[in-house]
Copies of this chain bind each other. A is one copy, B any other.
Amino acid sequence: MEQLIRQNRSYRRFYQDHFLAVDNLKYFVNLARLSPSARNAQPLKYYISNDEPVNAKIFECLSWAGYLKDWDGPEEGERPSAYIVVTGDHRVGDNFYCDHGIAAQSILLGAVEKGFGGCIIASVDRQKLREHLQLEQQLEILLVVALGKPKESVMLDNIGKDGDIKYWRDDKRIHHVPKRQLDDIVINFS
């Protein structure tokens, strides 16, 4: 698990031509399906796409890497080859708790195990995406998981003394992510 979780970085540049089959996407959704759900309500529904024109429409609705001010997101050729849009069905209930977090982590770990990678994106033009995908009103867009064959290196760094958690890219385009240390997040043991 530790190896898989370490490999599971938020990748934002991909080999866009690397195909991701619908069966792969269904396999990932199945992992989410088998994951815990608050009160076992299972309110989540998933829209999947590995289709270039649909992907382009989804891409249009996403904001990428807020801390990288001089980067608008992956350029053509480095975009995700697939997406899983995670929605919450209000016919089931109005509180989705943290089900979408559980589901997204299962999806990403499955993707990494199969040699892919992805990124959870919550900064989404939900109105536009709903129209593009013709989603029913009862389905609330919770987040989008972008998927593909990663084309970038992501390094975990220790957080600096200034406590800055903003990720950044070095001149070799390696993406650096400052992480708090274990002693800083365990309250009662050091």
Contact = CB atoms under 8 A, between A and B. Distances in A.
Copies of this chain present in the complex amount to 2
A150 interface: no
A186 B26 contact: yes
Contact of A42 (B10, B34, B42, B179): B179
Contact of A101 (B8, B45, B98): B98
Contacts of A103: 101
A69 interface: no
A29 B105 contact: no
A71 interface: no
B102 A104 contact: yes
A56 interface: no
Contact of A98 (B104, B186, B187, B189): B104
Interface of A: 1-2, 4-6, 8, 10, 22, 26-27, 29-31, 33-36, 38-42, 44-49, 66-67, 87, 97-106, 108-110, 113, 120, 122, 133, 135, 139, 142-143, 156, 165-167, 177-180, 182, 185-189
Given A26-B186, A33-B182, A36-B120, 15 more contacts: A1-B31, A1-B113, A5-B35, A6-B34, A29-B186, A33-B180, A40-B67, A40-B166, A42-B165, A45-B185, A49-B188, A99-B101, A101-B102, A101-B105, A102-B104
